[in-house]
Amino acid sequence: MPHPTDSTPTFWRDEALPFIEVRAIADGRKLRYGRHAHRTFSIGAVTGGRSTYSNGNTLEQVHAGAVVIINPEVVHACNPVDDEAWAYRMFYLDADWLAQLQHAQGFGMQAGFVPFGQTLTWRADLFAGLNALYDVLVNPHEDVPRKESAVTQYFAALQQALNPAPHASAPREQNQRLARAAEFIEGNYTRTLKLEEICAAAQLSPSYLIRAFREQYGMTPHAYVVNRRIEFCRAQLRRGHAIADVAAEAGFADQAHLQRAFRQFVAATPGQYRG
């Protein structure tokens, strides 16, 4: 993966390290993200410029030196301020892999990932460490064991530095009908879904479903469907599948529809992401 030199995002991934993916860009002033969410844990270093950073219910302005921390399934977005050439490096970690690391360190009593309590830190050591990790991962001369060791060391240190209190990490009680709606979407997002189908699965009225679903998951049911499709597409593109095939498999009307949605949720084209 070359170091980014312009407004084109670059992606690093390695089949030998399937639990981590990296995205970087040197000039993101033309990129605009719609609010979106990932199943992965995300952490990023802002290396230049300024951007607005929304994470759940928080909205802040960040600049070089910031480390942003995004728990899985939390709706978020970052966008440049005043046409500045903001730059960043974003890391996406499999939540199950990170959960195993947390539990090995003695954090978290429940099974599964323990969310971080902080959404932002300015700690210079965590910022420098994340950039050092980036340099190791993208270096073609470093072997896989070295890269895996560097990932493990950094995220073990991150956990120690930002140790979340158990009471702060307990998941909030979910409305069971809303959970059924999300589960129904999960099982059917690759086909055309009508709102009334989701309502029937959850036994909720359309108006209540839309309002309550947004409160619970940070996006409307429709946006949730598209977000799931994009996550599916990312996985298929990483496997080298043809873009047109991926669009059809994910339930998009055509390749152009996928292109528009992918740009909104990933701020890159499917071709750029696949590499």
Residue 198, pLDDT > 90, answer yes
Do residues 114 and 137 both lie within one domain?
Answer: yes
* H or E element that contains 153: helix 144-161
> Does the pLDDT value for residue 177 go beyond 50?
yes
Tell which of 138, 169, 200 closes a domain. 169
Residue 251 sits in a domain whose CATH number is 1.10.10.60
Could you tell me if 134 and 89 lie in one domain? yes
Please check whether residues 56 and 159 belong to one and the same domain: yes
**Does any domain span residue 5?**
no
Q: SS3 helix, strand, coil % of the chain, rounded to 5?
A: 45, 15, 40
pLDDT of amino acid 147: 92
Q: What Cα–Cα distance (Å) separates residue 26 from each residue in 52, 75, 84, 194, 274? A: 17, 24, 11, 40, 19
pLDDT in tens, 72-111: 999 998 887 877 778 999 999 999 999 988 887 777 656 6
- Residue 240 lies in domain: 176-274
Mean pLDDT score, 36-63 = 92
pLDDT band per the 50, 70, 90 thresholds, residue 167: very low
Q: For the chain, how far is it from start to end, CA to CA, in angstroms?
A: 10
Whether 17 and 50 map to the same domain: the answer is yes
Quick check: 169 pLDDT over 50?
A: no
pTM given for the model: 0.78
pLDDT given for residue 2 in this prediction? 46
